[in-house]
Amino acid sequence: MASSKSGSGAMTLERMSVEQLKAVKEQADMEVNLLQDSLNNIGTATTRLELATTALNDLSLRSLGSKILVPLTASLYVPATLQDPHHVLVDIGTGYFVEKTMPEGKDYCERKINLLKSNFDQLVEVASKKKNVADEAGVILQAKLKQLASSS
């Protein structure tokens, strides 16, 4: 269905005036940029979750009472002992936190990463389609401009 749609899209692109083509190209470029931004955001979110997963894995290897340094600020750490290595507090968004056990916490991270990955894949598809439209419009626009230049 998508391919037939893009085919008819090319047909209508051919018939457009230079101004219309310019508008279409601008719009498509804008959308491509927007999608690219979203992709970047998803990428950073995924890395953060992966970091959280490694942190959890690290934490789960420690035993009760082991010495740790807790960051109070970015540059100030205070020594402490680990009191409960089996429970974690997870930020699930909009200010809500949930107490979870270690495996639940890991499961949470994994689920979120999978969700983001599937979103990422979907977005990549949409973005590449949009990029094709933008490129197509660009090519036709160039051809039309050349035609205009040579005929005048």
Partner 1 sequence: MSSSNIRDLQRELENKANDLNKLQKDIAKNHQVRKKYTIQLGENELVLKELDLLNEDANVYKLIGPVLVKQDLAEANANVRKRIEYISAELKRLDATVQDLEEKQNSKKETIMKLQQKMQSLQAGKGKA
56 in helix, strand or coil? helix
Give strand pairing partners of 70. Answer: 78
C-beta of 69 vs 92, nearer to partner 1: 92
Name the minimum Å distance from CB 81 to partner 1.
22
C-beta of 100 vs 106, nearer to partner 1: 100
Dig out the tokens for 62 from the structure. Answer: 């420690």
Residue 26 interacting with partner 1 (CB under 8 A): no
Work out the number of other CB atoms within 10 angstroms of the CB of residue 141: 18
Residue 61 interacting with partner 1 (CB under 8 A): no
What's the one-letter identity of residue 61? L
C-beta of 53 vs 132, nearer to partner 1: 53
Helix and strand counts by DSSP (H, E) for the chain: 3, 4
What x-and-dash track marks residues 93-122 binding partner 1 by CB under 8 A?
xxxxxxxx-------x--------------
78 in helix, strand or coil? strand
Judged by the rule CB under 8 A, the positions of this chain that interact with partner 1 are 89, 92-100, 108
